[in-house]
């Protein structure tokens, strides 16, 4: 990951004035900014230039923001995704979470808040080159790349953060509330069921023998 001031950000929005405003705002903060007018162009730009973060509008014709987010996660890409939307209902936020978003910003918003969210997503407390390991599982924290027994796990950003939480607390019970606070952060629409879903996803990718134990009525623990 580049230093925050040099990070590459892709802005995806079909509204030209908004796209230009977002680009000006982030470029003024020192980011290397590229923009795309729709979902298809966004996927092509990500394939070509591998940005550090995507600012992604939800409501676009054709391939909308949620579909783009799902495709990125299905490919195993862990770059942070900041969704922009005019809708702030709980179902809309949950849909964004399930699509793989890392944060959610409701229009209209102040430029300062956008910059703060971008900065937080890019920094998020990671030490460059930091590696966590337990048993035969290894996680490159900054790159969000995980392997088990040499096999690439292909984790989404959310799965990688959840694994990081477990790896930082081996053999300790992690409650659902703690996972919500540490992994989902400001996305307050997330529920304890979301934690259960992502633990299930993570277990499937980790494979056998199982490493994540359920602590009944409390949460989960990295054991074995």
3-state secondary structure of 147: strand
pLDDT value of position 190? 58
Q: Which CATH class, in words, describes the domain spanning 131-222? A: mainly alpha
Helices (H), the chain: 16-28, 39-49, 65-74, 90-99, 111-123, 157-168, 176-179, 192-206
pLDDT recorded at residue 1: 42
Residue recorded with tokens 């007018």:
37
Looking at the chain, the whole-number percentage of residues with pLDDT higher than 70 is: 92
Query: Is the entire prediction scored with pTM above 0.75?
Result: no
- Residue bearing the bigger pLDDT, 2 or 107: 107
Query: What is the percent of the chain with per-residue pLDDT over 90, rounded to a whole number?
Result: 38
Mean pLDDT computed over every residue of the chain: 85
At residue 209, the pLDDT reads 92
CA distances from 27 to 8, 32, 114, 126, 195 (A): 10, 6, 12, 23, 35
Calculate mean pLDDT across residues 49-75. Answer: 88
Q: How far apart are CA 117 and CA 187, in angstroms?
A: 12
Q: Per CATH, which fold does 4-123 belong to?
A: Rossmann fold (3.40.50)
Confidence of residue 185 (pLDDT cuts 50, 70, 90): low
Distance CA 43, CA 68 (A): 7
- Considering only residues 209 and 98, tell me which one the structure prediction assigns the higher pLDDT: 209
H or E element in which residue 36 lies = strand 32-36
Task: Give Rg (Cα) of the chain.
Answer: 17
Say how far residue 132 (Cα) sits from the centre of its chain. Answer: 19
- Please, are residues 157 and 73 in contact by the beta-carbon 8 Å criterion? yes
Residue 221 has pLDDT above 70, yes or no: yes
Could you give phi then psi for residue 60, rounded to 5 degrees? -130, 145
3-state secondary structure of 187: coil
pLDDT of residue 182: 80
pLDDT at 127: 54
Peptide bond preceding 218: is omega within 30 degrees of 0, i.e. cis?
no
β-sheet with 32-36: strand ranges across: 32-36, 8-12, 53-57, 81-85, 103-106
Per-residue pLDDT, averaged over 17-36, amounts to 91
Per-residue pLDDT at 23: 93
Domain positions in the chain are 4-123, 131-222
Q: What pLDDT does 21 receive? A: 93
pLDDT value of residue 210? 92
Lowest mean pLDDT among 35-44, 58-67, 94-103: 94-103
Residue 75's pLDDT is what?
80
């Amino acid at each position: 990951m580049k230093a925050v001031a040099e990070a590459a950000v892709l802005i995806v929005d079909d509204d030209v004035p908004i796209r230009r405003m977002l680009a000006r705002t982030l470029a003024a903060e020192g980011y290397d900014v590229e923009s795309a007018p729709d979902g298809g162009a966004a996927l092509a730009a990500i394939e070509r230039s591998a940005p550090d973060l995507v600012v992604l509008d939800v409501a676009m014709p054709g391939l909308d923001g949620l579909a783009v987010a799902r495709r990125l996660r299905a490919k195993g890409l862990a770059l942070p995704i900041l969704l922009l939307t005019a809708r702030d209902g709980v179902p809309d936020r949950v849909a964004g979470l399930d699509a793989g978003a890392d944060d959610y910003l409701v229009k209209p918003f102040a430029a300062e808040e956008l910059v703060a969210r971008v900065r937080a997503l890019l920094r998020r407390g990671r030490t460059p080159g930091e590696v966590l390991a337990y048993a035969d599982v290894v996680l490159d924290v900054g790159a969000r790349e995980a392997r088990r027994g040499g096999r690439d796990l292909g984790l989404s950003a959310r799965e990688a953060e959840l694994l990081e939480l477990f790896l930082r607390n081996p053999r300790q019970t992690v409650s659902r509330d703690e996972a919500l606070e540490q992994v989902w952060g400001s996305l307050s629409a997330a529920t304890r069921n979301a934690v259960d879903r992502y633990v299930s996803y993570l277990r499937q990718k980790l494979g056998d023998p199982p490493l994540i134990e359920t602590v009944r009525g409390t949460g989960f623990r990295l054991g074995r």
